[in-house]
Structure 1
Amino acid sequence: METVNNKRAAGILMPISSLPSPYGIGTMGKEARNFADFLKKSGQKIWQILPVGPTSYGDSPYQSFSAYAGNPYFIDLEALWEEGLLKKSLIEYFNWGGHENYVDYERIYKCRFVVLEDACARFFGNKNNPEKDAYESFCEKNKDWLEDYALFMAVKAEFENKAWTEWDDEEIRLRKPEALAKYRVKCADKILFWKFVQFKFYQQWEKFRGYVNYLGIKILGDMPIYVAMDSADTWANPDVFWLDEEGKPVRVAGCPPDYFSAKGQLWGNPLYNWDYLKETGYEWWIKRVKAATELFDITRIDHFRAFDTYYAIPYPAEDAVNGEWLNGPGIEFFEKLKAELGDPEIVAEDLGSLADSVYVLLEKSGYPGMRVFEFAFDGDDQNGYLPHNYCENCVAYTGTHDNDTLRGWFEKEPALTLGRIYSECYPDKVPEIEEEPEETSEEKKPEEEKEEIDLEKLTAEELEEYNKKLEEEEKKKERDRRLTIKYKQDAKLAEDLKLSDEEVLDMILTALYNSKANTVIIQLQDILWLGSEARMNTPSTLGDNWKWRASREYLTDEIAERLMNYAKNSNRI
């Protein structure tokens, strides 16, 4: 990633939804500008956010009704009041939620659209509307996605907000021309409303981004690789996705079983029809990336590995056990992307257990990958997430939105974790551990008898395989020996160290800021040393995710000064 002025940079991960606000959820208004001011005062050059699309059931920003539309929840209501589109009494009439640190999505859903509908009525009811030309220009510029999105949302309301695959009218489900014309007339008012909402979102976004950029700060936005099954994208572009004749998915996305999940993860997103996309020059995808790069200064592509190989699960399925790995478009797609768009600033989310081919693709693309501090401490000195192993072309994090907060992670096993962190940050101060002498022949436990192999009878290939196996066994023994020593060192350190929470946090932030990584991004919750109650998301769970919000008093001058010092001392200003 080309950082600001090609120099080292630092930033903060802070979702728009998590900003303080009297109206239940963060918006692009005054508090967003205040946070940008805080970033400037802190010496930060990047503001990373989560996806900004309209959320659906479950409130996940990674399951959106559209790959292009903006979230109506992020529209600043006070700005609409200042424009004369709302009465302050109406805004203040509603109870937007009783807890300043958590979003009450059910309450927001019930209140927000009533208010926006009132603003919409005033907007179109004004015959001398000074923004009429701007509105029409916006609709024309974005008609490729806006027409389908507005119709999709309007028809969805007609069918009690059911998923489009469950709409009672098959003709509109399958987008028959007569049905499209019929519902454009029947739902005309609702279509106008959804276009108005997007007009206001993008209008406010331009002002918001303009202010952030004016301060010398870049917005790092997030683009989910998959779209939701219940989205305008799948409904309007069935050929782009792996769907059957009835519009139902043939295979869906997810992850295979692993240490963390015995049955894998069933995400349920429709997979792409890469054959069709290749035949059409990847036009749909290039338009999507172009839109993201116009919205953000830097774009993070989620689940980058799926461009190499992706996990395909037969539909329907109860779990992800019976999926298989299939080939994605590979480097050809990114070569086409760069030919069409130049070389936009992109960050590749390359976390998890990856095949070597994914790393080859990442290197060929030239995009920076991600390094997460919380993944570093398995006792192996070669772990790529340890700060001393970072390369320059990467973005280093304490944790992402899917991780526990730094404090929550640390407190699950504080003693041993402290020893491991300390030995990473201060390797010169780690006490030497004497290796225990090898066992004598009398002490050794009897090993299982191994089958004797007559090497002279082996073919050249068999001999090569045999030697390779011996080499791997020796490497494993050496690795186990080093891990044992490392474990003892960490345990010894944990017994001796007496560090305050503030000292632990300082140790971690110093290690990341001083690393080779060109860019360092820290979650605001981690800067504040908040516990697991401030975790943004726990994968594969529903109910308590995406809710955390910051209080105004969190952003103090003292914290800004501390962050500024980290940035200065690590040459990130």
Structure 2
Amino acid sequence: MLSQRRSGILLHPTSLPGSQAVGSLGREAYQFIDFLIAAGQSVWQLLPLGPTGFGNCPYSSFSAFAGNPLLINLELLAEAGDLDQIIPQAVPSEFVGADYDTAVKQQLPLLKQASRNFKAGANETRRQAFADFCARQRWWLDDYALFEAIRRDRNFVPWQDWPQPLRQREAAALQQEATRLQEAIFEQQYLQFVFFEQWFALKKYANSKGIYIYGDLPIFVAENSADLWAHREQYLLDDNDRPTVVAGVPPDYFSQTGQRWGNPLYNWEQMATDNYAWWLSRFQWNFSLFDLIRVDHFRGFSACWTIPADQPTAEHGYWVETPGRQLFSTLRDTQGKLPIVAEDLGIITPDVEQLRDQFEFPGMKILQFAFDSDANNPYLPHNHVPNSVIYTGTHDNNTSLGWWNHLEPAARQRIADYLLQEQVQMPWLLVQTALSSVARLAIIPLQDILSLAEEHRMNTPGTAENNWQWRYQSAELTPAIADRLKQASHLYGRNLCNPTEI
């Protein structure tokens, strides 16, 4: 349950500026924290941090626990003594987006070299830190490092296409690969070590300045992931280790065929036999990474839309209840307070609301969804509740200026009438409306703070290309913008909170 009126900014680290081809955990991340402080903010929300595959979507990762090596800052590696020099070309001044292909080509060879340098010449202090990290994280790191080493050695084919002894994780086959690929395994362990070394240093800096880090936990895992390979029995798979059913959402106003996401579904009955140990470990790890976490597709902890894997669309799916109540009760018994925000967007049924409210999880309100119906719309400000998080829009929405530009005149007039404005100035009117809400936490995408149009949106759902690429330029975060946001936050009591509790 949220206890303080706070506000913050939504920005994924890949959107940070800098000399690397995608944003990183380096100097610019610290500068962004300084901007948050200057702007009177106390929360930084980001998207999942895991290693991504095709499409670079942070919600589709090769691991539910690992960090994305492309976010590792090379200058910090040089300062740590793992790199002698930084070779990648500087990002040209006209560069306008995250370039993942260039990042892979430029950064991965340097990261490989850093791993070799570390192995050959790291001082005793860092060697011990590495050994401690590998020992503490063995419960996920060993499987992930081996998975990545085999996957790369076999030209990135999915694990279901590996030889059966490896696919089925026969002990002798795993040992043989672990011996043969020990250099590649060490490299993967090193990459995770330095990623989390940099991440926890950044989080420590943020927390020391009164900034809380708000993370994101996708409910499902990717089919081609270390999690599925290492824990096949906890998913609904056939004899060939392919999903028998997959995740998605049913047909609705937005899609006549629904959405077929394709993620494998959990074998909740099997998970209950060890008291949901994998889930407890996953939540506890995320609680160490973040001060608050948004649980994506929260309704899946009440019931999942279950689609037969042989169906090309979501139309022929069906609801299957899931034991979210038992899981969160067990988690609360072991963890105590649960710093969770429920992503409860879309068509939410009473059972989902009851699950959310039983554990006092804040829900989400989106202002871009507020003005398309009548006074009962739950996203309209007069229907907000204190224990919630208000957004102008999320990473899946258009920017607020882009959204406004697409509205018909009648819709614009309805918004102007509701907000008592003769001259609507978007997107700052929506920003101020979010800050004025009774919702205790207000989160604004940086694109809206910068008054950016549609071409700067982060993601367009249902499309596979040209997403997750937006980056801002350092010069855009001006003192004038910081002052404007600070004054608005102060006006609505959002920068007067107790720094010791969220």
In the alignment, the residues of structure 2 paired with residue 506 and residue 540 of structure 1 have an alpha-carbon distance, to the nearest angstrom, of: 28
Q: Which amino acid is the alignment partner of residue 478 of structure 2?
A: T
Aligned to 1:335: 329
Structure 1 residue 78 displacement after superposition: 0.5
TM-score of the two chains, using structure 2 as the length reference: 0.96
The structural deviation recorded for 1:322 is 1.3
Partner residue, 2:498 = none
Number of aligned residues:
495
| Deviation for aligned residue 1:243 | 1.3
The residue matched to 1:90 in structure 2 has which SS? coil
CA distance in 2: counterparts of 1:380 and 1:54, whole angstroms: 42
Q: CA deviation at 1:252?
A: 0.7
- The alpha-carbon deviation at position 127 of structure 1 amounts to 6.5
C-alpha displacement of 1:101: 2.2
Aligned to 1:319: 313
Alignment of 1:112 onto 2:34: no
Question: Does 1:101 pair with 2:82?
Answer: no
1:151 aligned residue: 146
Confirm whether residue 142 of structure 1 aligns to residue 137 of structure 2.
yes
Deviations 1:256-292 (A, max 9, x none): 1222222221111110011111222111101100000
Task: Please name the residue that 1:516 is paired with.
Answer: 438
**Residue type at the aligned position of 1:300:** R
Superposed counterparts of 1:35-54, under 5 Å: 35-54=32-51
1:477-503, Cα deviation, whole Å (9 max, x unpaired): xxxxxxxxxxxxxxxxxxxx444xxx3
For each residue in 1:84-125, what CA deviation from the matched residue of structure 2 results, as whole angstroms up to 9, or x when unmatched?
222335234xx7678532111122122221110011111001
Change (3 A) 1:268 1:96: farther
> Aligned to 1:395, which of 389, 392, 400?
389
- 1:218-241, Cα deviation, whole Å (9 max, x unpaired): 000000000100000000011111
State how 1:365-444 maps to structure 2 within 5 Å: 365-413=359-407, 415-426=409-420
Structural mapping, 1:202-213, within 5 Å? 202-213=196-207
Residue 513 of structure 1 deviates from its aligned partner by 1.0
Structure 1 distance, partners of 2:266, 2:213, is: 28
CA distance in structure 2 between the partners assigned to 1:110 and 1:317 by the alignment: 37
Letter aligned with residue 530 of structure 1: L
1:570 aligned onto 2:492: yes
Are the aligned partners of 1:47 and 1:220 in contact in 2 as well (CA < 8 Å)?
A: yes
Whichever of the two has the greater Rg, that structure is 1
Give the 5 Å matches for 1:327-366.
327-366=321-360
The amino acid of 2:183's aligned partner reads D
In structure 2, what is the Cα distance between the partners aligned to 1:97 and 1:257? 44
Moved over 3 A (4+): 95-99, 127-130
Aligned equivalents of 2:93 and 2:236: distance in 1? 43
| Contact 2:88/2:106 (<8 A) preserved | no
Deviations 1:502-535 (A, max 9, x none): x333322222111110010000001111111111
Equivalent residues in 2 for 1:69-468, closer than 5 Å: 69-92=66-89, 99-126=94-121, 128-167=123-162, 169-413=163-407, 415-426=409-420
Match of 1:123, as an amino acid?
F
Partner Cα distance (2:98, 2:138) in 1: 32
1:381-400 C-alpha deviation (Å, 9 max, x unpaired): 11000112100010000000
**2:467 alignment counterpart:** 545
Q: Does the residue aligned with 1:39 lie in a helix, a strand or coil? A: helix
- 1:250 to partner: Cα distance: 1.1
User: How well do the aligned residues superpose, as a CA RMSD in angstroms?
Assistant: 1.5
Alignment of 1:23-42 (within 5 A): 23-42=20-39
CA displacement at 1:321 relative to structure 2: 1.6
Aligned counterpart, 2:57? 60
Partners of 2:174 and 2:373 lie apart in 1 by 60
Q: Is the 8 A contact 1:77 1:91 kept in 2?
A: no
Q: Which runs of 5+ in 2 are unaligned?
A: 496-502
Q: Residues 513 and 567 of structure 1 are in contact (CA less than 8 Å); yes or no, is this contact kept in structure 2?
A: yes
C-alpha distance 220-66 of structure 1, shift in aligned 2 (>3 A): same
Query: What per-residue deviation string (whole Å, max 9, x for no partner) do you get for residues 166-203 of structure 1?
Result: 22x11101101111001001111000000000000011
Q: Partner amino acid for 1:39? A: L
Secondary structure in structure 2 of the residue aligned to 1:362: helix
C-alpha distance in 1, partners of 2:284/2:423?
A: 51
What secondary structure does 2:306 align onto?
A: strand
Q: Tell me the distance in 1 between the aligned counterparts of 2:61 and 2:92.
A: 23
Distance 1:99 1:188 in 2: 42
* Deviation at residue 414 of structure 1 after TM alignment: 5.3
Aligned equivalents of 1:213, 1:61: Cα separation in 2: 24
In the alignment, the residues of structure 2 paired with residue 560 and residue 130 of structure 1 have an alpha-carbon distance, to the nearest angstrom, of: 40
Alpha carbons 1:49, 1:220 under 8 Å: kept: yes
Using the alignment, how far apart are the partners of 1:350 and 1:204 within structure 2?
32
Residue 11 of structure 1 aligns with which residue? Answer: 8
SS in structure 2 of the partner of residue 305 of structure 1:
helix
Q: Does the 8 Å contact 1:42/1:563 carry over to 2?
A: yes
8 A Cα contact 1:96 1:108, kept in partner: no
For 1:531, the equivalent position in structure 2 comes to: 453
C-alpha distance in structure 2 between counterparts of 1:216 and 1:330, whole Å: 32
**CA distance in 2: counterparts of 1:244 and 1:97, whole angstroms:** 49
Cα distance in structure 2, aligned partners of 1:520 and 1:82:
37
Q: Which amino acid aligns with 1:152?
A: F
CA contact (8 A) 2:428 2:448 kept: no
Q: CA 1:57 to 1:32, structure 2 compared with 1: closer, same or farther past 3 Å?
A: same
Indicate if the aligned counterparts of 1:243 and 1:249 stay in contact, CA closer than 8 A. Answer: yes
